[in-house]
Structure 1
Amino acid sequence: MSPFTRVARRRAAALLGALTAAAATLTVTAPAATADDMRSREWYLDAMKADQMWKVATGKGITVAVIDTGVDSTLPELRGKVLPGRNFDTGGAGRVDDEDTDRHGTNMALTIAGSGADGGVKGIAPDATILPVKTGANWNFDWTATHKGIKYAVDNGARVINVSRGGPALKEYTAEWRKTVDYALKKGALVFAGSGNDRSGSPSYPASIPGVVAVGAVDTKGSVATFSNYGPHLALAAPGVEIPGRCTKDKTKFCAGEGTSQATAIASGSAALIWSAHPDWTANQVLRVMMETAGHNGPVPSKYIGYGTVRPAQVLLEGKGDPGDPNVNPLLAAQGVGAGATPATPKTTPKTSPSPENTGAGDEGQVADRAAAPDEGGFPLWVIVAGAVAVVAVIGFVVLAGVRRRASTDA
């Protein structure tokens, strides 16, 4: 991709099963960077205290399924950590651990579990195992393939299901989506999905299906990203701006990306970290502590960041969060869904804005505690970091529909 070019995607509409939808990603290209520069660009790892967390847990023993465009396991950062997987885009035939021309699934895998080898991208859970499940090209969200892919993933040992994609929430597909999600939950898995990048409250599948952990995005300041979709179904938020990955057409180069896709990958990786430290916990317990320790500034839940921005360091370094009942899904309980479970709504009281002392550079609060929702202070300007030292202010408010969107060309 050429420097400073951005790909924004529009939600796709479809009828009678012929659905086309955009992946929950906007791709921003940064100047071509040398590989040894990547770790310094992963600002969110520093803000989330990743180096300290990795002394406690690294995601080892946890398989994360990437339901996406495939994963290129030939990259140095992914060698030895990607399972063969399955290609449901071709009816379930063929491996997908070495193919991904769109690079979307590959970048999600890097964000989750990249090793940082050869100076490349390091994931939030660098020792997690990736199970690639191909369900279509970047701009073609095949629902049938996705249903099959999710079921395949949980049947093959994936404890975390990452769906950084989405499609329109059409009523005729609701029942099938619920069956798929219920199957995954009964198998003891967590399903994370991106809320979308339209800066709208329009629901999408699978993010808006009860039981799915719908993830929104926050920017480098910890504020809600201007593109992040919102709604009452939103469960958590995570960093989703200036996330390094491989360029689409030239995988030897690095491009910065943004979107709820990246935020979902970071949330999934955070779950893998916590689970690897507490392998005896159930999915319900992992999710509960994530919800309880999420950072926020206002009322909870918020339609913009749900229960807050993920803060796995609170669990791993501070020992915070009560895992609670292993058999009660806290998200379903809070939504009033399930077999009469008592709602386990975490942190229901408003929290005051953090003081300057706990929002300094490198502090986890820099991301998590400053996730102010638009109705709690407005959308702030966000910044894109260009190169190693220059910081360029790129965009402010975007007004309604009809906004110019630029397609990118890879470097």
Structure 2
Amino acid sequence: MKANEMWKVSTGKGVKVAVIDTGVNPDTPSLNGQVIAGETSESLGYKATEDFVGHGTTMAELIAGTGTRGALKGLAPEAKIVPYRVAMHGLTGTEKEKAPDLAKVIRAVADSDVKIINMSFGASISDPGDLEAVKYAHSKGKLMFASTGNDAEENNFIGYPAAYPYVVGVAASGKSGKVGKFSEHGNYVDLAAPGLDVPAWCDETFRTYCTGEGTSIATAIASASAALVWSAHPGWTANQVLASLIDTAGRDWARDDPSTYLGYGLIRPRKVLEKKDFNPGASDTDPLARENVTGVLDESGNPVAASTSPSPKPSKDTSGGQNSTAASDTDTSGNTTLWVTLGAAAAVLVIGGGAFAVIRSRRRA
């Protein structure tokens, strides 16, 4: 991505990114001074600066880490992180009960001066409250990114919130630009970003980095890319920032025929930043209008209704070609999946390189 060249133009200064995750540790060398806590109510900010697995801290460093003392340097090192912790697999008792509801968190972010919402997690079920919160955040001019999921080789479930309208679904690619075999696919994949062989905290002790992979990592890189562009063009709207990233994405297929594996292509913010007079289009034109109107489609091109029950296991396309897993990277050593029970229904919920689960009561329609 030639970050050193981009940093001559933009470092993300002036842009706040909400990281909704397992919490963010603000005391790592890379995040010292980068995390803004306490901007919301105590209930919504419950233990937001305590990360019980290290996942949220990794996402924050990939976005805005300073690289101090040899630590991980993010793609937008002068952006700021606003942390939120939601209930993830592994939380029990009081911590589980007090972890805020995702929809309430999204609404709180929507009412703040945060520009970008990073959601490096996903679920195989939709939630009406979350969908309404996403729509509200969109109406408030927020740009939302979410991971598409890491279970393509087993289930390839439709992942939410990535599949909600107005949320940019991010797939993971390797150094060669090929999609990772684990990276889930469908018409809700909008962009791809690096997500293999990336440094990540090994665990909650924050003693050392391991090699990580996953669509969570790719989502953080996408959020950081947007922060770079928005910092350089503070007068742009979320629509314009996203349109510029879509227009400059790397692809060898038609712009109007996005890939189900890489969406509109590999994210390349440098291509936006190197043109001071870049035209991002109309401020009120949704660059994902077609996808948002069409909704999620199955692999046969039929509409899939958003459901509050687990999504069925879709068939896998093995036909080959540019949109096929036949052209995928093969290393999936860090990819795992956990199952949890949500109310009366079992559902897969994936997060990041190595998978964790969001714990949330299933709502009735």
Same fold (TM over 0.5): yes
The counterpart of 2:258, out of the listed 293, 301, 308, is: 301
Out of 239, 251, 264, which is 2:206 matched to? 251
Matching residue within 189, 197, 200 for 1:234: 189
Instruction: Tell me the amino acid that sits aligned with residue 186 of structure 2.
Output: G
Matched, 1:110 2:61: yes
Deviates more, 1:198-207 or 1:185-194: 198-207
Structure 1 counterpart of 2:142, which letter? Answer: A
Contact persistence 2:179–2:325 (CA under 8 A)? no
| 2:30–2:71 Cα contact (<8 Å) kept | yes
For structure 1, which runs of at least 5 residues remain unmatched after alignment?
A: 1-47, 339-371, 385-393, 396-406
- Tell me how far 1:85 sits from its aligned partner: 4.5
Report how many aligned residue pairs link the two structures: 303
Aligned counterpart for 1:92 among listed residues 38, 41, 44: 44
| Alignment CA distance shift 1:101-1:118 (3 Å) | same
Note the C-alpha offset of 1:314.
Answer: 0.4
Contact 2:26 2:32 in 1 (8 A): yes
Aligned partner (choices 105, 113, 120) of residue 157 of structure 1: 113
| 1:119 matched residue in structure 2 | 70
- In the superposition, relative to structure 1, how do residues 53 and 380 fare at CA in structure 2: closer, same or farther (>3 Å)? same
CA contact (8 A) 2:85 2:100 kept: no
Q: 1:191 to 1:111 in 2, by over 3 A?
A: same
SS of the residue corresponding to residue 33 of structure 2 reads: coil
Contact 2:190 2:262 in 1 (8 A): yes
Following TM superposition, by how much is the alpha carbon of 1:286 offset from its aligned partner in structure 2, in angstroms?
A: 0.2
Deviation at 1:182, TM superposition (A): 1.0
**Number of the residue aligned with 1:205:** 160
Gaps of 5+ in 2: 296-319, 335-353, 356-365
Equivalent position of 1:101 in the other structure: 52
Q: So what's the TM-score if we normalise by structure 1?
A: 0.68
Q: Structure 1 runs of 4+ off > 3 angstroms?
A: 85-88, 138-144, 318-321, 333-338, 372-377, 380-384
Alpha-carbon contact 1:70-1:105 (below 8 Å) kept: yes
The aligned residue for residue 140 of structure 2 is 187
Which position in structure 1 is the counterpart of 2:172?
217
- The alignment yields a C-alpha RMSD, in angstroms, of 2.8
- Equivalences for residues 139-154 of structure 1 within 5 A: 145-154=101-110
Secondary structure class of the residue paired with 2:323: helix
> In the alignment, residue 289 of structure 1 is paired with which amino acid?
S
In structure 2, distance between residues paired with 1:162 and 1:176: 18
Change in CA separation of 1:253 and 1:321 when aligned onto 2, cut-off 3 Å: same
Task: Indicate conservation of the 8 Å contact 1:304/1:373, yes or no.
Answer: no
User: Residue 104 of structure 1 contacts residue 138 of structure 1 at CA under 8 Å; is this kept in 2?
Assistant: no
1:76 aligns to 2:33 (yes or no): no
Which of residues 264, 271, 276 in structure 1 aligns to 2:231? 276
CA contact (8 A) 1:86 1:94 kept: no
Provide the rounded CA distance (Å) in 2 between the counterparts of 1:373 and 1:169: 30
Paired residue secondary structure (1:136): coil
Counterpart amino acid of 1:82?
A: V
Whether the 8 Å CA contact 1:68–1:105 is kept in 2: the answer is yes
**Alignment check: 8 A CA contact 2:172 2:194 kept:** yes
Q: Which residue of 2 aligns with 1:388?
A: none
